Amino acid sequence: MSTADTEIKIGKRICKNRITMAPTVKFNAGEDGIVTDFFVKHYELRAKHGVGFICVEATAVAPEGRLAPSQIGLWNDEQIEGHRRLVDACHAFGTIIVPQIHFGGLSTHPKCGRLTSPTSVKWNLFGNEVDAHELTFAEIKEIEGRFIDAAVRAQKAGYDGVQLHGCHSYLINDFASAVNKRTDEYGGSTENRARFGCNIISGIRKACGDDFIISVRTTGCDPTVEESLGIAECYVKAGCDYLQVSTGIQDIDFIEHDDSLPYNKIAALGVKFHDHFKGIVPVSLVNGIRTPEQVHYVLENDLIDTVDLACGLLADPAFSEAILNGTPYEKCYSCKTCGWGPDHAHICPALAKRGDEEWVW
């Protein structure tokens, strides 16, 4: 039986506990994509209070592939120093830290670049139907290189590894999904649809070495659970050390779930992947885990290796201490004011209740 404070090996690194911070975009950067004091403080607070593994929010590998103009990036060397400050702040507390590297694909913001896709498709963007650009073979190879270059910059900044964003209609997900109708080596079979992600993984491994963690946030049900397991198997064979399981383009209403369980159907995908990859690579679940009791349940029943926390850690940076030590904490109100999107007002009533400027993000 594992508990929240049990160490775990991820790649060749030892993580001090099973609590991980999920990547949640704060949309607080300038057009230059440089990490500012805001980001350093935001992540340092979560490391200070005991999180074992932090995945820094979606970090663009190219300015034309951003999901918003206010997204941080690793597309040039000038961005390395800001990331180094962030890494050093979190490493001071013994926290493993990786950035989630990202290219927008079908969710690229129109102020940043055109929508791109493995196959030409009409796509709904902010209520408007847009023709997505079908990537040429040369463009695909260029973007693969952008991911690898971003990982090299991450390593120079001191990160312990990277996470590839392969969910939520972003480009790696687009290749793996049913949107992909290509007839060349990047389309058709499961292996071909995984090729884009696999080429990035193998390229990063070659450039950054065996000690560098390569994680993938992968979809658990796009277009089916079985196909998603097959895609993830390809990633692992290519060199992925760690899987975080979320959703992709496919609607998840078709997934059956026992609502009496203390976790939702998205988290249940992580449970299914953990069962499939047990003894091969660690797997993390995410979504709707907002109480210490839920964390203890999934870990102590050997349902998952690590637990990705988002809203709970946003509502209270010391939520991890509540899990590890049973201390009081401010509960997430599930009010969505921290909701995804660059136009959202990031006002959290749990943080406001504290009345302490240190806790405001």
On whether the pTM is more than 0.75, the answer is yes
Q: pLDDT over 90 for what percent of the chain?
A: 84
| Other Cβ atoms within 10 Å of 171 Cβ, number | 27
Domains of the chain from N-terminus onward: 8-359 (3.20.20.70)
What pLDDT, on the 0 to 100 scale, is given for residue 252? Answer: 86
Q: Burial level of 34, CB count in 10 A (0-12/13-18/19+)?
A: middle
Give dist(CA 97, CA 51) in Å, integer.
10
Q: Are strands 116-117 and 283-285 parallel, antiparallel or unpaired?
A: unpaired
What is the pLDDT confidence band of residue 302, given thresholds at 50, 70 and 90?
very high
- Rounded average pLDDT over 161-184: 97
Residues 335-344 have a mean pLDDT of: 61
Q: What is the pLDDT of residue 356?
A: 52
pLDDT in tens, 316-337: 999 999 999 999 999 988 877 6
Q: Tell me what pLDDT residue 241 has.
A: 98
- Positions marked catalytic: 170
* Residue 40: pLDDT band with limits 50, 70, 90: very high
Examine the pLDDT at 341 and tell me if it is beyond 90: no
Is the pLDDT confidence value at 212 over 50? yes
CA-CA-CA-CA torsion sign (95, 241, 168, 123): positive
